[in-house]
Structure 1
Amino acid sequence: MSLAQRPLLRTYRAEFADTLRLSIPIIIAQLGVVLMGVTDNLFVGRLLGAVPLGAAGLANSLSFLMSSIGVGGMSVVAALVSKASNQSDPAGVNRLFRAGLRVAGLLSILLGGLSVLLAFNFSLFGQTAEVTRLARDFMLILSASLLPLLIFVAARQLCDGLRYPRVAMAITLSALGINALFNYVFIKGAGPFPALGLMGSALATLLSRTFMAGAMLLYIYRTAHFGAYLKREFRSLPSKEEAWIILRLGIPGGLTFFFEVATFSLAVVIVGWLGEAQLAAHQIAINMASVTYMMATGISSAAAIRVSAAVGRRSREEVWRAGVAAFLLSVSFMSVTALVFLTANDWLVTLYLRDNPAVMSIAASLVIMAGFFQLSDGVQVVALGGLRGLSDVNVPTLITLFSYWVVALPLSYVLAFPMGMDAVGVWIGLLAGLSIAAVLLTWRFFRRVKRVDLFTGSIVSDAPIG
């Protein structure tokens, strides 16, 4: 080890350790949520074939698109809870918790309605008749699961913000097992349950999400960890102002998440125009990329919580170190996953399909492309987490809008059709958008850290570090 490396490791050893302690349970919980979609696709692909797999993938992508505003928007609550906790304000934590549940209920009604409307207009996406029929029915069931999903997300913000991320991890892993069990039971039929085919997979997701919401609320109200924040005298405190704060910060944050998710969802639609084989192959590759992305979002969530806690303690140096540690951890992890995608792409595809050489060949090439954009994806999501910890949400929203909708989507279409690069062209466009977002958001974070006034939250000129 060189002398230049030793000070870095010595300086950030504690930062790495704390970020890992916080992020690993969040990563596992995030993985559990994504793996539910992966589980659905694995069961559907193995038991029903390529066309239902493409339909389930399309419905899952578009349903996740509808929920992304709520899921992304609610994530700001953990940072606000962390800040209030570090300012010794238990009443403020209670108001944020109750406000978060109110906002989750409101968003589930609005987004669920939009999801149903989208389901009844699937013909707009230009897919084949069979894919359209299957995806529409699948998405209608997923729309009903938005309420328990957002209630779970809102409740887990209290646990994450107070540094109890293992709660969501345990509940999500339990739900993953429930989802896998009922996927098999409902798809094939077992005992008193009839074979429901593709719709059985959607029902399994609905049951799993309902379990997650109920288990999370039961844990919060029945354990001593949260007693100081759930005192009876806090129940009468108004939380309307906190609800507006969550909406004011959460909606731009949710739109940031939406623009990225929408890019990948619309990429599914573009690939669907190329053919059913390309659609199934794209779904396999994007499932794998989604798994690694959600791992990076765990580090991003830890960054948001640790940065906001440092803001609550009014320590610029701690803000800086929390951000740097998260970036270094994300780059290290995504470098490993990139290597796996680039060297084991053929084997990874066989986990999904074994009897369709045309789909498997396309999917193997797309997994290689997924390997190339691992670093950009990991950097941009951690930058977003750090900015969320600083309550900086408006400019990042514009950056993601430009990167994904002005650059990535148009370039994907041009490369896929006029340039004749097929599905690989779509993924090159996605890589370009992610890379631009990574550069701009990282620059924004470190510039913001240098200039933010930690006492007022406003921007000042030439503020020193430390």
Structure 2
Amino acid sequence: MLTNFRTELSDTIRLSIPIIIAQLGVVLMGVTDNLFVGRLLGAVPLGAAGLANSLSFLMSSIGVGGLSVVAALVSKAYNQSDVAGINRLFRAGLRVALLLSVVLGGLSALLAFNFELFGQTPEVTRLTRDFMLILSASLLPLMVFVAARQLCDGLRYPRVAMAITLSALLINALFNYVLIKGVGPFPTLGLMGSALATLLSRTFMAGVMLLYIYRAERFKEYLTTAYRSLPTSEYVWEILRLGIPGGLTFFFEVATFALAVVIVGWLGEDRLAAHQIAINMASVTYMMATGISSAAAIRVSAAVGRGSREGVWRAGVAAFMLSVSFMGVMALLFLTANDWLVTLYIRDNPAVMQIAASLVIIAGFFQLSDGVQVVALGSLRGLSDVNVPTLITLFSYWVVALPLSYVLAFPGKLDAVGVWIGLLTGLSIAAILLTWRFFNQIKRVNLTLTNTTDVMTH
């Protein structure tokens, strides 16, 4: 079996690894914030920072998930030799990014000003509100970076975003320490210093990414002045048509975990801090799996562009194999090293450490479900199949996972463990339904399209 898929696996791995590192770098900014805040400021600021990062990520998820469709469209256009289409997709993606940053940033700020609706403790509410306002401003550079990187990923140059993201991660870590502690000429800003570090890092990412794209020789043929007069409105609408359902799919999952944070917050500050530790770890492995998912979307869409149904199938199967293998290793790590992993975040609070260690064990069990469902979503995105997957995720997470989490936590008296069992159930249902959907759609996909303009009118 592995011999038959050697080419597909190696190609998926080559494309996935830089995307994984870039995706990991983005989520590690939130993890870095939590690590510095937990070590330097304590459990309550850790809970507030984790809550703010979770809710801000929830707002950005619509944009990040929605814009990811651009890479698949660029890949398809490239395989159809549609250079003008690639140019218009790039410019349209940036316009959509600006639109989404205004809308999502505004919603994030509105959420921050009305944070008392979540029923958290007064101290957590105050700290989270200020933290979220700064993260709201950082959505603009984040959306621009995500939109610009789609050109690189779609043309199979994912190392560009990887290098920029890793550099930004180092900048984020440096400014977390400097601004929280007040080193040298910098003032002591405490928790707000961590939020400002994220804003500075994301601004760096957007600026460097755009500078590289417009200066690099490899992109010049796609950015010539001859294409500047070509309209992009139909491409903007196509990105929104495919991207909004795709973004909502991402949103429903992220929202489930963000709202799970709120439910756990009702159980107490120690449970909230423990939950943030465990969910940070699960977020790291999930974002790595999204790298494989992005590679699946690019390779599946490329096969569609070539008109190869077998290529679609093989690209999808290779991605599933890779994701299951990786997430299986992560599951073993979570199950066997849970106590040690918790000590990376906090050492001086035995109650929080004990709760967090038990939650990490449950996180180990849902690694496989999480890896399968996200790769299925990426493969379906490569087929431009976004509407039904959105409904599947809505059902799995909001109809099953969240209500079950609440029932098990409170009437069922399972506390924070009950919340995580509910999450595991929703992820497993999504994995089954989305995988079935992908393999069912392979035989139905239209392989007669010849260029990106046809895609727009199909």
Per the alignment, residue 329 of structure 2 pairs with 336
Per the alignment, residue 314 of structure 1 pairs with 307
Q: 1:190 deviation in Å? A: 1.0
Per the alignment, residue 463 of structure 1 pairs with none
Q: Secondary structure at the match of 2:345?
A: coil
Q: 1:46 aligns with which of 19, 39, 52?
A: 39
2:424 equivalent to 1:431:
yes
Partner Cα separation in structure 2 for residue 89 and residue 452 of structure 1 = 21
Per the alignment, residue 354 of structure 1 pairs with 347
Q: Secondary structure at the match of 1:9?
A: coil
Q: 2:60 aligns with which of 44, 58, 67?
A: 67
Could you list the runs of 5+ residues in structure 1 that have no partner in the other structure? 1-7, 458-466
| Preserved contact between residue 305 and residue 449 of structure 2 (Cα < 8 Å) | no
1:263-274 map, 5 Å: 263-274=256-267
Q: Secondary structure at the match of 1:328?
A: helix
Q: 1:383 deviation in Å? A: 0.1
Query: What do the CA deviations read for 1:197-235 (whole angstroms, capped 9, x no partner)?
Result: 000000000000000000000000001110110111011
Q: 1:191 deviation in Å? A: 1.2
Per the alignment, residue 114 of structure 2 pairs with 121
2:377 equivalent to 1:384:
yes
2:210 equivalent to 1:236:
no
Q: 1:402 aligns with which of 395, 398, 416?
A: 395
- The one-letter code sitting in structure 2 at the alignment partner of 1:181 is L
- The one-letter code sitting in structure 1 at the alignment partner of 2:116 is S
Per the alignment, residue 435 of structure 2 pairs with 442
Q: Secondary structure at the match of 1:78?
A: helix
Partner Cα separation in structure 1 for residue 140 and residue 83 of structure 2 = 27
Query: What do the CA deviations read for 1:82-132 (whole angstroms, capped 9, x no partner)?
Result: 000000001000000000000000000001110010000010000000000
Per the alignment, residue 186 of structure 1 pairs with 179
Partner Cα separation in structure 2 for residue 401 and residue 271 of structure 1 = 21
| Preserved contact between residue 108 and residue 136 of structure 2 (Cα < 8 Å) | yes
Per the alignment, residue 297 of structure 2 pairs with 304
Per the alignment, residue 154 of structure 2 pairs with 161
Per the alignment, residue 4 of structure 1 pairs with none
- The one-letter code sitting in structure 2 at the alignment partner of 1:367 is V
Partner Cα separation in structure 1 for residue 264 and residue 59 of structure 2 = 20
Q: 1:214 aligns with which of 197, 207, 215?
A: 207
2:290 equivalent to 1:290:
no
Q: 1:146 aligns with which of 139, 144, 147?
A: 139
- The one-letter code sitting in structure 1 at the alignment partner of 2:296 is A
Partner Cα separation in structure 2 for residue 176 and residue 313 of structure 1 = 37
Q: 1:454 deviation in Å? A: 1.2
Per the alignment, residue 454 of structure 2 pairs with none
Q: 1:276 deviation in Å? A: 0.1
Q: Secondary structure at the match of 2:4?
A: helix
Per the alignment, residue 26 of structure 2 pairs with 33
Q: Secondary structure at the match of 1:388?
A: helix
Partner Cα separation in structure 2 for residue 380 and residue 313 of structure 1 = 26
The runs of at least 4 aligned residues of structure 1 exceeding 4 Å deviation read none
Partner Cα separation in structure 1 for residue 3 and residue 88 of structure 2 = 39
Partner Cα separation in structure 2 for residue 34 and residue 367 of structure 1 = 18
Q: 1:453 deviation in Å? A: 2.4
Q: Secondary structure at the match of 2:321?
A: helix
Partner Cα separation in structure 1 for residue 287 and residue 130 of structure 2 = 27
Q: 1:388 deviation in Å? A: 0.1
Partner Cα separation in structure 1 for residue 344 and residue 423 of structure 2 = 24
Partner Cα separation in structure 1 for residue 449 and residue 127 of structure 2 = 52
2:197 equivalent to 1:198:
no
Partner Cα separation in structure 1 for residue 449 and residue 404 of structure 2 = 41
Q: 1:148 deviation in Å? A: 0.1
Q: Secondary structure at the match of 1:451?
A: coil
2:104 equivalent to 1:104:
no
Partner Cα separation in structure 2 for residue 133 and residue 167 of structure 1 = 38
- The one-letter code sitting in structure 1 at the alignment partner of 2:69 is V
Query: What do the CA deviations read for 1:433-463 (whole angstroms, capped 9, x no partner)?
Result: 0000000000000000022221159xxxxxx
Partner Cα separation in structure 2 for residue 296 and residue 117 of structure 1 = 31
Q: 1:154 deviation in Å? A: 0.0
Q: Secondary structure at the match of 1:143?
A: helix
Per the alignment, residue 414 of structure 1 pairs with 407
Query: What do the CA deviations read for 1:354-379 (whole angstroms, capped 9, x no partner)?
Result: 01000000000000000000000000
- The one-letter code sitting in structure 2 at the alignment partner of 1:103 is V
Partner Cα separation in structure 1 for residue 70 and residue 233 of structure 2 = 14
Partner Cα separation in structure 2 for residue 249 and residue 388 of structure 1 = 9
TM-score (norm 2): 0.98
- The one-letter code sitting in structure 1 at the alignment partner of 2:429 is I
Q: 1:9 deviation in Å? A: 2.0
TM-score (norm 1): 0.96
Per the alignment, residue 3 of structure 1 pairs with none
Q: Secondary structure at the match of 1:429?
A: helix
Q: 1:187 deviation in Å? A: 0.2
Q: Secondary structure at the match of 1:158?
A: helix
Partner Cα separation in structure 1 for residue 35 and residue 446 of structure 2 = 49
2:134 equivalent to 1:134:
no
Per the alignment, residue 255 of structure 1 pairs with 248
Per the alignment, residue 453 of structure 2 pairs with none
